[in-house]
A = this chain, B = another copy of it.
Amino acid sequence: MVAMTPTDLKSTEEPPATRSSLARAAAGEQLAHPPVWFMRQAGRSLPEYRKLRLGTSMLQACRTPDLVTEITLQPVRRHRVDAAIFFSDIVVPLVAVDLEVEIVAGTGPVVAHPVRTAADVAAIRRLEESDVADIAVSVRQLVAELGDVPLIGFAGAPYTLASYLIEGGPSKEHARTKALMYSEPALWHALLARLAEISATFLRVQLAAGASAVQLFDSWAGGLSAADYAEYVLPHSQAVFAALADHQVPKIHFGVGTGELLELMRSAGASVVGVDWRVPLDVAAARIGGDTAVQGNLDPAVLLADWPVIERSVRRVVEQGRRAPGHIFNLGHGVLPDTDPDVLTRVVELVHSL
Contacts and interface: CB of A to CB of B under 8 A. Distances in A.
A179 B225 contact: no
Given A183-B305, A299-B178, A305-B182, A278 B225 contact: yes
B301 A174 contact: yes
A226 to B, nearest CB: 8
Contact of A300 (B175, B260, B277): B175
A280 interface: yes
A222 B182 CA distance: 25
Interface in A148-176: 173-176
Contact of A178 (B228, B278, B301): B301
A257 interface: yes
A306 B181 CA distance: 11
A299 B225 contact: yes
Interface string A178-211: 1100110000000000000000000000000000
A174 B305 CA distance: 13
A222 B177 CA distance: 22
**Copies of this chain in its oligomeric complex:** 2
A304 interface: yes
Contacts of A176: 304
Interface string A219-255: 0001011111000000000000000000000000000
Interface in A266-295: 277-280
Contact of A259 (B259, B280, B306, B338): B259
B336 A173 contact: yes
Contacts of A350: none
A272 to B, nearest CB: 20
A31 interface: no
Contacts of A179: 301, 304-305
Contacts of A175: 300-301, 304, 336, 338
A309 interface: yes
Contacts of A278: 222, 224-226, 257, 259-260
B301 A173 contact: yes
Nearest to A185: B309
Nearest to A334: B173
A173 B334 CA distance: 11
A9 interface: no
A234 B3 CA distance: 44
Interface string A289-325: 0000000000111101110010000000000000000
Contacts of A302: 178, 182
17 contacts: A173-B300, A175-B300, A175-B301, A177-B301, A178-B301, A178-B304, A178-B305, A183-B305, A222-B257, A222-B278, A224-B278, A225-B277, A225-B280, A225-B299, A226-B278, A259-B259, A260-B279
Interface of A: 173-179, 182-183, 222, 224-228, 257, 259-260, 277-280, 299-302, 304-306, 309, 336, 338
Given A178-B305, A182-B302, A225-B279, 15 more contacts: A173-B336, A175-B304, A175-B336, A178-B299, A178-B301, A179-B301, A179-B304, A182-B305, A182-B309, A183-B304, A183-B305, A222-B257, A224-B278, A225-B280, A226-B278
